[in-house]
Chains A and B, each alone.
Chain A
Amino acid sequence: METFLSKYTKTAPAEVTTWFKAASVNDFPKDGGACVKYKDKQIAVFNFERLNQWFACQNLCPHKLEMVLSRGMIGDHQGIPKVACPLHKKTFSLESGENLNGDLPAIATYPVKIEAGFVYIGFSD
């Protein structure tokens, strides 16, 4: 399982080597998320319409290691955009990946860009 988790590493915009064209913006719910498959990775992508921002992170919740984060609700905690895992409501910052209501390891976040109506996720591999 450890290797499983280690597949996902936080990627800063400057480190991006590949912009993966995931899907049309219309495929994602407003103020909600969906899951994107990239190679053997599962990436949760959120259209945070209220902030006019997109976020991406691993779909894997570090709590029980299930592929579920994309199905969670999003929102903010004191201004920090976050996602709540649908299984036990563990919440994570969509910016830093930090666990906001516990001390689970941070989740990996990825840069997102929108071009010509398409969602691109940035990877360094």
Chain B
Amino acid sequence: MKNIIVIGNGMVGYKFCEKFVAAQTTGFTLTIFGEEPRPAYDRVHLSAYFEDENATKLEMAPASWYTENNINLITNNRIVDINKEAKTVTDQHNQQHTYDYLILATGSVPFVPPIKGVEKEGVFVYRTIEDLEGMIAYAKHINQIKPNGKAAILGGGLLGLEAGKAVMDMGLEPHVVEFAPKLMPRQLDARSSKVLQLKLESMGIHIHLSKATNQILGDEVITGMEFGEDDILETDMLIISAGIRPRDELGKSCGLKMGIRGGIEVNNRMQTSDPYIYAIGEVALYNQMIYGLVAPGYDMAHVAVQQILGHTDITMASDIDMSTKLKLIGVDVASFGTPFMPADKGLSIIFENKTQFLYKRINVSLDGKKLLGGIMVGDAADYSMLHQIYLNGMAIPEDPAQLILPASEGGGLLGDIMDLPDEAQVCSCESVSKGQICNTIETGAATDLAGVVSCTKAGTGCGGCKPMVKDLTEATLKSLGIEVKDHICEHFDFNRQELYSLIQVKGYETFNEVLDNHGNGGHGCEICKPVIASLMATIHADTANKEYAIQDSNDRFLANIQRNGTYSVVPRVPGGEITPDKLIALGEIAKKYDLYTKITGGVRIDLFGATLNQLPLIWKELISHGFESGHAYGKSLRTVKTCVGSTWCRYGMDESVSFGIELENRYRGIRAPHKIKGGVSGCIRECAEARGKDFGLIAVEGGWNLYVGGNGGANPRHAELLAEQIDNQTVIKYLDRYLMFYMRTAKPLQRTAAWQERLDGGMAYLKEVIIEDKLGIAADLEAEMQTLVNKFECEWTQAVNNPEMMKRFNHFVNSKEEDDNLVFVPMREQKMPQQWQ
């Protein structure tokens, strides 16, 4: 048995374990030490923690994964010393551990420049979950003590801009301070940097360039930054993101060869100056460089594993691709290959449009045949393809400008994605090639995008390659003759969203109009009919009575069909608030018609066992007692569950019941792609379980936190934070927009959770659409919702008052008799249908 010890359970240390497990070898024990309190997590997506504060979601693998794979994971323990000669390491509890091979994967720490006052309260770095927890708590504190708090970020690089967006989302005014005269100095040229600056400023991020910080102002707590004598920026918080320094102290103390400016030197086998000690990730100095990106670190992990297993021919490439695409900040920025081109080495083609915050530059070889690199700001949709053309040295058009010009000007000639060579590395984080992706489909291992992702892990790292993985999946399916369509069914070559626009634009009012004008010549079916019925309801505020033969089973009879063909009846009880008189009325009606009675999961009262003929009779009585349809049968708003809130509760921060009732009454009756549930909790104890709902509100100091996209059911999912500390009116405004946007764009029978999960651009995009109105549709969404709200009509009241509509509630057309097939048996003092045979 040989002992391998890994120091550092970060992204790269974890990747070493994963690659080691995948190699399926025996004869080794593997132990990994991590100083942080939890197993390795996805640092690249650290900013996602601001959205939901969910650390588990970021885990690379749960602690149980290590156990299952016989890896000894020791967290919360720092290695303090290495003895190369004895081949031992000492941990912080002074325990010694022997190794045969030692892997240093200690990563890096943020570089904190020696500025006077950096130790003051309110100054943060941005590297670990604990850093973020500190920032979140501090930002909350600022928001509580003053209305327009500010936060500064020191460093206008990749990370600094991400931090800028994060503090903006926390409700603070962001100020990015950069020493260089341009943003992202390592990746962008001066012009693109200017375009980016304009765009960021238009989003509300303030940019301060060419600023050297002399000192941090304030007594104990930061109050500002001083650049020059009269040059001061007031700020309540500072996040330092001024680069990284390798955590090389162990290498230094045990005498490994170090770089002049730090980092532990390694060869192309990832070996340090001691052949039994390897270094990988951000601590490793390879080719005199520290690579601050995760993909090269993963490659290093792969090389180290192979070397230890004796595959000494597998070494690190000499050229490391440093291409990057900025994520999460609401503006596309990418740079690849050689972004700046000395004039004697190549030629540049530049396209700039400041009015649209667009900049694209490509650099080609002097003979115009090869793509050498480029920069894109404002629109990086073609980044993956250009990056691949560059990486694989593929041929480019005779006029290379066509690669970046808009299609309308003869551009858009990127070539076919299937022309990429099989070896082309599509996902650099997980090292997945085009060939591997296509292969999973060709062999039948996967049949769709989700399958490809789970087979290959492509797209699970930084996520930058996702669009390309999707395109490759679709192109491969197509090449196999498998059509990828999301047509709603065989009768229409359109998806739900397309039909939505058609109906809205053309103003169709009946199913036949839509089918005759846009169908495939068939006669519809149980799939397209309810979809179109729902669209008509959303667009024209129709009730299900209008064209009842195209309604789904339940909508057709305005009740939930149960397993023996009888129905259940659920009147609306908004927010779960009900008077004793109404409770008595429900009881009496249930008794009169001998209905099985139960409280539902949505805290209303459900009466089961009504025959078709009884439905209108029961409803007439319910309506006379002031009830209305609860739409329990529809793909529409069900309930808004509430806790009792500040009306009674000694912890309540706001009136959750009142607001719940208001919301339930506002959205009652609207038809959506699937059912919608809401919840309102009066404080963070969350008794209404609002985060398990499609929309949920939690009262906090200063307003409501609004969460969206939660779900119970088979795939439970917590709703995600859309906005914080907003007032009732703003809640309604955002909810109107959110629900309407969902109703417009979701697939049939897609709950908000699934819709939101698949939304390109994720939560960040959703916020842009709903809060910042990036698409310029917010006013339309609100107006459409308001129309639905204004036109609401209880469809049961409508039905019982209309003899023509009442005709359908008869089991027989030619007899008043009821279904004679029904058999009930007694159960716990009530009744139930006889078991199915």
Contacts and interface: CB of A to CB of B under 8 A. Distances in A.
Interface of A: 1, 22-23, 27-32, 34-37, 40, 42, 45, 48, 50-51, 60, 64-68, 71-79, 81-82, 84, 86-87, 89, 91
B591 to A, nearest CB: 26
Contact of B549 (A29, A36, A60): A29
A49 to B, nearest CB: 9
B522 A66 contact: no
Nearest to A81: B523
B774 to A, nearest CB: 39
A37 B561 contact: no
Contacts of B549: 29-32, 73
Contact of A76 (B524, B564, B813, B837): B524
User: Of B525, B550, B612, which is in contact with the most chain A CB atoms at under 10 Å from its CB?
Assistant: B525
B497 interface: no
Given A27-B813, A36-B812, A37-B815, A71 B525 contact: no
A91 B512 contact: no
A73 B490 contact: no
B526 A32 contact: no
A37 B837 contact: no
Interface stretch (B193-201, B395-403, B551-559): B551-559
Nearest to A119: B813
Given A31-B524, A34-B812, 6 more contacts: A1-B837, A35-B811, A37-B815, A50-B523, A71-B557, A73-B529
Nearest to B548: A29
A34 B487 CA distance: 30
Interface string B146-166: 000000000000000000000
Contacts of B550: 31, 73
A21 B421 CA distance: 72
Given A66-B821, A84-B526, A23 B564 contact: no
B813 A65 contact: no
Interface string B512-531: 10000000001111101110
B817 interface: yes
B836 interface: yes
Interface in B258-294: none
B814 interface: yes
A76 B525 contact: yes
A91 B564 CA distance: 18
Contacts of A74: 523
Interface of B: 490-491, 512, 522-526, 528-530, 548-550, 552-553, 556-557, 561, 563-565, 612, 807-808, 810-815, 817, 819-821, 836-837
B819 A67 contact: yes
A22 B810 CA distance: 14
B523 A73 contact: no
Given A73-B549, A87-B561, A87-B563, A48 B813 contact: no
B526 A73 contact: yes
A37 B548 contact: no
B660 to A, nearest CB: 32
A118 B168 CA distance: 71
Contact of A68 (B528, B561, B820): B561
B837 A34 contact: no
Nearest to A21: B814
Nearest to A82: B525
B814 A77 contact: no
Contact of B526 (A64, A65, A79, A89): A89
Contact of B553 (A77, A82, A86, A91): A86
A22 B814 CA distance: 6
A40 B529 CA distance: 32
Main secondary structure of the interface of B (DSSP, over half): loop
Contacts, number: 106
A37 B553 contact: no
B565 A66 contact: yes
Contacts of B820: 40
A75 B512 CA distance: 12
A36 B813 contact: yes
A66 B836 CA distance: 9
Given A22-B813, A72-B526, A65 B819 contact: no
A29 B808 contact: yes
B529 to A, nearest CB: 5
13 contacts: A22-B814, A27-B807, A35-B813, A65-B836, A67-B565, A68-B565, A73-B526, A73-B529, A73-B553, A76-B522, A76-B525, A84-B525, A87-B553
A64 B512 contact: no
A82 B812 CA distance: 21
A75 B526 contact: yes
| In the A-B complex, the 10 residue pairs with the closest CB atoms | A32-B549, A86-B553, A75-B525, A84-B526, A34-B813, A73-B526, A66-B565, A75-B524, A76-B523, A23-B813
B511 to A, nearest CB: 8
Contacts of A84: 525-526
B662 to A, nearest CB: 35
Contacts of B810: 34
Contacts of A68: 561, 565
B563 A66 contact: yes
A36 B671 CA distance: 32
A72 B529 CA distance: 12
A42 B821 contact: yes
B813 A51 contact: no
Contact of B552 (A67, A73, A82): A73
B814 A23 contact: yes
Contacts of B553: 71-73, 86-87
Contacts of B561: 68, 71, 86-87
A29 B815 CA distance: 17
A94 B17 CA distance: 60
A48 B812 contact: no
Nearest to B524: A75
Contacts of A1: 837
A75 B812 contact: no
Contact of B548 (A32, A64, A67): A32
Nearest to B557: A71
Given A66-B821, A67-B821, A77 B525 contact: yes
A35 B813 CA distance: 6
Contacts of A28: 813
B823 to A, nearest CB: 11
A66 B807 CA distance: 22
A29 B612 CA distance: 16
Contacts of B548: 29, 32
Nearest to B816: A37
A104 to B, nearest CB: 14
B363 to A, nearest CB: 55
A79 B565 contact: no
A73 B511 CA distance: 13
Contacts of A22: 813-814
A68 B820 CA distance: 12
Contacts of B807: 27
A87 B566 CA distance: 11
A71 B611 CA distance: 13
Contacts of B812: 34-37, 42
A106 to B, nearest CB: 19
User: Of A60, A78, A87, A91, which is in contact with the most chain B CB atoms at under 10 Å from its CB?
Assistant: A87
A30 to B, nearest CB: 7
A89 B489 CA distance: 15
Contacts of A32: 548-549
A37 B814 contact: yes
A45 B812 CA distance: 10
Given A27-B813, A77-B490, A42 B524 contact: no
Contacts of B491: 75
A89 B526 CA distance: 8
B685 to A, nearest CB: 41
Contacts of B522: 75-76, 78-79
B678 to A, nearest CB: 28
A86 B526 CA distance: 9
B523 A48 contact: yes
A36 B814 contact: yes
